[in-house]
Structure 1
Amino acid sequence: MKALHDKTVLITGASSGIGRAAALLFAAEGARVVLGARRGAELEALVARIQAAGGAATWLAGDVREEAYAQALVRHAEDTFGPLHAAFNNAGVLGPLQPTPEVALADWRHALEVNLTAAFLGAKYQIPALLRAGSGSSLVFTSTFVGHTAGFPCTAAYAASKAGVIGLVQSLAAELGPSGVRVNALLPGGTDTPMAREMNPDEAALGAVARLHALRRLAQPEEIAAAALFLVSPASSFVTGTAMRVDGGVSIQRG
């Protein structure tokens, strides 16, 4: 039986990178996927691809920073497919890559709103739906090794917001454990996504990032999606409150 047979899973940040890879993988593993992101055209094309392969998918475009959108996405999931069994809160931005004294307050706030406040808003409306679905549901949030064990200069907003996601996960895991809802953070290493290429606009820069990892390469989005699949699936039924590193050994390299 497929890992997500008869499960409905919501994914944010689904239009590209890790979210897109997760949408394709989860659907292939039997999930009915509900996809959210700002770019509706990309979501529509992705849903069409999943449906053409025999999968079940729907989409709703919007801004994860908006409370009304967080609520509407959950409502759309339940109205379309019934009970919601898992959510992968993956949407995020890099934020300003500048020395901290040069960071504009507006840019700081934007990074926290997308990376942390949106995670809270997702949880706020996903949790009641997961509780309605019954015990065994799962919440997963994308954080980063940068917000956990390895500091990098000029990433204050990104690191602080993603570290906040880990704190949110740990609190929610303790809060929801008695109800049987599991909550975990996924900590990718450097991954070859549009966001990574925005941060490192040429191959030399990407190569330098790759060499920071013990495996001496970047991850492919599909590799991170496979770890997310483990966390949302029943295979991780006794895993909650974790910050799961899928980082190619970058954390141990930086010590």
Structure 2
Amino acid sequence: MTTTSDKNPRVALVTGAGSGIGRAVALALLQDGYRVVLAGRRPEPLDAMVEAATAAGQQALAVPTDVRDAQSVQALFDQTEQHFGRLDVVFNNAGVNAPAVPMDELPLDAWKDVIDTNLTGVFLCARAAFALMRRQNPQGGRIINNGSISAHAPRPFSSPYTASKHAVLGLTKCIALDGREFNIVCSQIDIGNALTELAERMTKGVRQANGSIAAEPMMDVQHVAEAVRYMAGLPLSTNVLNMTVMASQMPFVGRG
């Protein structure tokens, strides 16, 4: 059940909503009756989703946003509050990766782009969500961070991405702790090999820890959307602090 009443449907915000995991989650939440704010850098896919949602009798708001920029993030949450009056769920999904090269070949700008997007972007969105959830009435809400299996174990040549996701895990725990006083809960979903446009390359072969190149099993991105839908739908008295959703046979547990 996603509404307190038919007149007060819950509001969700999804970053990186224009494609991949973000798009799948946003569509699932719209189907559940949420009013959904769609954030992303490219306006065209966001506008197309709003048009489709409107045709289906759903409510969506597109807000082009760069999560690396504090002013852009603040504008996103200001528009959310102005348009819908409150915020119940945030899915911090926007993220990027860097070229898989030895550390000494990685440009500093590539490192900064990953950290600014995957870590600082999550912090900026969580900070703005925390402020809104703290002052709204009824108080509280749920922040869900898209971590990664890389929050627990790295791939070869992945230092910026892995560092950012380890940091998100720590940030998730801090938000979960600091939010108790204000009925704000925080969760993290760690995803392994969801088949999206960006991950399709992995079906053709990915470098393994032993130096070999091997294709890896994938899972339907809809299973990720279902997992986030479950986490989002829980009452604030209950939290899934951390969930791992993965292709069963991918090389993560043990030695692959």
Same fold at TM > 0.5: yes
Q: For residue 179 of structure 2, give the secondary structure of its aligned residue in structure 1.
A: helix
C-alpha contact 1:96 1:157 (8 A) present in aligned 2: no
Which residue of 140, 146, 154 corresponds with 1:142? Answer: 146
CA displacement 1:19-72 (0-9 Å, x = unmatched): 000111000001000010000011000111111111100111121100011111
Q: Mind listing any 5+ residue stretches in structure 1 that lack a counterpart?
A: 211-216
Aligned to 1:245: 244
**Which residue of structure 2 lines up, in the alignment, with residue 57 of structure 1?**
60
Q: State yes or no: 1:118 paired with 2:121.
A: yes
From the superposition, tell whether residues 140 and 68 of structure 1 become closer, same or farther in structure 2 (CA, over 3 Å). Answer: same
Does the C-alpha gap of structure 1 residues 227 and 236 become closer, same or farther in structure 2, counting only changes over 3 Å? farther
Which residue is equivalent to 1:45?
48
Q: Map residues 1-255 of structure 1 onto 2, 5 A cutoff.
A: 1-2=1-2, 6-133=9-136, 134-148=138-152, 150-197=153-200, 199-200=201-202, 203-205=203-205, 208-210=214-216, 217-234=217-234, 237-239=237-239, 242-249=241-248, 250=250, 251-254=252-255
Cα distance in 2, alignment partners of residues 191 and 36 from structure 1: 21
Distance 2:145 2:90 in 1: 8
Q: Give how far 1:243 is off.
A: 2.5
CA RMSD of aligned residues (A): 2.0
Where does structure 2 lack aligned partners over 5 or more consecutive residues? 207-212
| Greater share of residues in helix | 1
**Distance across 1 between alignment mates of 2:41 and 2:255:** 34
1:223 Cα offset (Å): 1.0
The normalised TM-score by structure 2 is: 0.89
- CA distance, structure 2, for counterparts of residue 12 and residue 23 of structure 1: 9
Moved more, 133-142 or 185-194: 133-142
* Counterpart Cα distance in 2 of 1:139 and 1:14: 15
Q: Which amino acid aligns with 1:205?
A: G
Indicate if the aligned counterparts of 2:183 and 2:236 stay in contact, CA closer than 8 A: no
| Larger relative contact order (Cα-Cα within 8 Å, sequence gap ≥ 6) | 1
Q: For the residues of structure 2 that align with 1:179 and 1:102, how far apart are their CA atoms? A: 45
Q: In 2, distance between residues paired with 1:25 and 1:237?
A: 23
Task: Report the alpha carbon displacement of residue 253 of structure 1 after superposing the two structures with TM.
Answer: 4.4
CA distance 1:122–1:17, shift in 2 (3 Å): same
Q: Secondary structure at the match of 1:252?
A: coil
- Runs of 4 or more off by more than 6 Å in structure 1? none
Say whether the 8 Å CA contact 1:4–1:26 is kept in structure 2. Answer: no
Q: Which amino acid aligns with 2:74?
A: Q
TM-score with structure 1 setting the length: 0.89
